[in-house]
Structure 1
């Protein structure tokens, strides 16, 4: 860890994402003390912090320099949250941001020079099945990158990119992606209802089908296209449905437009 393992890991913000990270750290042995800064931590966060021996604070403690400073607040709050944190940071502190749209440049301008990692995790991080895409500025050395990977890995898989511009695209795919899947369940259940299924049954089987298919995708060495083909018998029911979904690239076209809209919004948040 950059700055040495004796320096604390400081987590700013213990909402859904920050709380998920804290819970993940509680399931593993960290080699540094943890300080959580949140003005109103939930009872769940208090319990996790108590079990792992983390310190809770309502504001940045004085005379403390973080080894890793993780800022897990909403993008709209960054301008208010960052200035009071400058005392926690020196050129050996690795700053890790999990806020959509907040660029490395904005973080450097607010907190001063030094290592910065910009990331975008997603909500399955709450159950340790998240996807986090990260990019580092040139000041992040191998030790700092390893420390960030270790901490982010507590909530799921971590992928690194070298071009910061790719973070907006990743935000649109993995960051926002769970919402697309949840909406697909809603649409599938509604289609089942219109086909004659009782509403509660339609939702149960739509939900179970999507979670089961996801588990199969995760467990199988085959790619998504192969798994799709395995379900699709020539001239069968699945083929008839896919003729609609894939005809004129209907579904693909919608996803291209949706991801482009999300990426555009991510860039707007950073401006």
Structure 2
């Protein structure tokens, strides 16, 4: 199998690396390029081959750009081989447009994507954009990397990557924020921390599985739980009165605007 080089191994790069390690049953085809000494030591102790710069690269190797977008220019300067490589390049950097990537890298064999942190446990969702003219080899590389760590969705319009950054990339934080609220309530009501965490995570896991396996719309599942004048209806009415959906949409829109700003 060709080698996958992870340039930048922070939260997102690490999630992909550990997801790939789990799916590929090892680290033989994975390389980590990381300048942070503490992170480098951790990946090395976990069995990854680690270096501070891109070294030997085969023509068909895959490079995943996972440095913070603010460090992209610096990463280019520190890794001269990056501009000479013409094999598949996959960017997971928020906000950096395909036009910028192709201009700076000097070729068009590039995918722009946004995976999320559940990739670490093989339950990620990745949205990626490649123009219609992209080669089958390029889209195959994206499917190879992201198919190993969860669900993969190719979008037709690059602007959807900004909304996807908010929805898919940041979504786990929004869901975890809601889980934290559930846990806090359970703890306030006398459940211990372990019980509170178990209840909250099982609620999220079980409900997600119910929606997926029954094919019911989320709102239908919500209505199925409620009875007229009952306890759940009172809770949902509280959400509606507070315009919770509006708050969530506003948060996602703010995140999407930030993705656009990063690209500028």
Q: TM-score surpassing 0.5?
A: yes
Partner of residue 93, structure 1:
87
Q: How does 1:217-236 map to 2 (within 5 A)?
A: 217-236=211-230
User: 2 CA distance for matches of 1:84 and 1:42?
Assistant: 16
1:82 partner SS: helix
Structure 1 residues without counterparts, runs of 5 or longer: none
* 1:150-189 CA-partner distances (Å, limit 9, x unpaired): 1111111111101111111111111111111121123334
Question: Are 2:114 and 2:161, in contact at CA under 8 Å, matched by a contact in 1?
Answer: yes
Q: Aligned pair in 2 of structure 1 residues 206, 88: CA closer, same or farther (>3 Å)?
A: closer
> Structure 2 length normalisation: TM-score?
0.84
2:126 partner SS: strand
Alignment partner of 1:175 out of 147, 152, 169: 169
* 1:118-156 CA-partner distances (Å, limit 9, x unpaired): 111111112111111100145521221012111111111
Question: Are 1:90 and 1:114, in contact at CA under 8 Å, matched by a contact in 2?
Answer: no
RMSD over aligned Cα atoms: 2.8
Partner of residue 10, structure 1:
5
* 1:69-99 CA-partner distances (Å, limit 9, x unpaired): 1111112221211233342455741110111
Alignment partner of 2:20 out of 25, 33, 45: 25
User: 2 CA distance for matches of 1:128 and 1:262?
Assistant: 24
Question: Are 1:10 and 1:66, in contact at CA under 8 Å, matched by a contact in 2?
Answer: no
Alignment partner of 2:261 out of 240, 265, 268: 268
User: 2 CA distance for matches of 1:251 and 1:73?
Assistant: 34
Offset at residue 198 of structure 1 (A): 2.6
Offset at residue 44 of structure 1 (A): 4.8
Q: Choose 226-235 or 135-144, whichever is displaced more.
A: 135-144
Alignment partner of 1:186 out of 180, 184, 187: 180
Partner of residue 239, structure 2:
245
User: 1 CA distance for matches of 2:40 and 2:148?
Assistant: 20
Partner of residue 255, structure 1:
248
Partner of residue 124, structure 1:
118
1:149 aligned onto 2:147: no
Structure 2 residues without counterparts, runs of 5 or longer: none
1:267 partner SS: helix
> Structure 1 length normalisation: TM-score?
0.82
Partner of residue 45, structure 1:
43
User: 1 CA distance for matches of 2:57 and 2:115?
Assistant: 30
* 1:192-239 CA-partner distances (Å, limit 9, x unpaired): 56xx61374684444443343234334443231222122112221111
Question: Are 2:86 and 2:107, in contact at CA under 8 Å, matched by a contact in 1?
Answer: no
User: 1 CA distance for matches of 2:69 and 2:63?
Assistant: 16
